[in-house]
Structure 1
C-alpha cells in the first residue's frame, strides 16, 4: 500500500485568495461585499437583508440576490446553515499579509508547555500573608 505524501502547511497557498480584480466583480457585487464587511460580516455571520442592501447600495433587490449568489459561488461569502453570511477568512488574509504571517506562525510554532515551576503552587509573599491576617476596623 502506497501512501500519498501530505503537503505541509504553506501560508501563501493556504491562507490566500485571488485578488478581487482578477474575479471580474460587478459594481453591485463589490458594493454587496463591502456592505457585508461594513456590517460585521468579517468576524461574525450576519443576516443580509436584500432590501436593506439594495437601498443602501442603490441597486434593485434582484441585483442584490444575484450579487449574493455570485459572491457565494466564488466563496467570497460563506453561507451558514442558518442562512447567515460571513466573509471568507482567506479573502481577509489576502488583504492583510502581516496578519497572515502571524496566523501562519501560530499554526506552525510549537505549543507553549508549562514546566515544573509553572505547575508548582504560587508562593505567597510576606506582605501578602500579613495583609490577610490584618483585621481593619470598619469606619
Structure 2
C-alpha cells in the first residue's frame, strides 16, 4: 500500500481566505460580519442575537438571519452552537499578513528543546543559601 505524500504547510494557502470583494457580500452581510468582529467574535465565540444585530445595523431580523446563514455557509463565521458564532481565523489572517507570517513561522520553526544544562538541578550560591535561612521581619 502506498501513501500519498502530504503537502507541506503553505501559509499563503493554509492561512488565507478569498477577499471579501470576491465573495459578493451584501451590505447587510458586511454589517453583520463587522458587528460580530466589533463585539469580540475574532477571539472567541460570542452569542449573536439577530434582534440586536438588526437594531444596530438597521436591518430586519430576517435579513440578519439570512446574513448569518450565508456567512456561515461561506465559512466566514464558524457556528459554535445555536446563536453563538466566531469569525474564521483564516479571514482574520487574510486581513493581517504580518500576523500570518508570524504564525507561519511559529508553525514551521523547530521546537525549543531543553539541553542537559537546562535539565540539571539549579545551582544554589552561598548568598542564595544564606538568604533562604534568614528570616526578615516585615515592618
Q: Counterpart of 1:16?
A: 16
Deviations 1:64-85, CA, capped at 9 Å, x for gaps: 0000000001000000145410
Q: Which runs of 5+ in 1 are unaligned?
A: none
Q: Counterpart of 1:134?
A: 134
Q: Which runs of 5+ in 2 are unaligned?
A: none
Say if 1:126 and 1:32 are closer, same or farther in 2 by CA, change over 3 A: same
Separation (CA, whole Å) in 2 of partners of 1:25 and 1:138: 65
Aligned pairs for 1:54-69 (under 5 A) are 54-69=54-69
Aligned pairs for 1:1-139 (under 5 A) are 1-137=1-137
Question: How many Å apart are 1:40 and its aligned residue?
Answer: 0.6
| TM score, norm. by length of structure 2 | 0.94
Which stretches of structure 1, 4 residues or more, deviate above 6 A after TM superposition? none
Separation (CA, whole Å) in 1 of partners of 2:82 and 2:69: 16
Question: How many Å apart are 1:126 and its aligned residue?
Answer: 2.5
Question: How many Å apart are 1:138 and its aligned residue?
Answer: 5.8
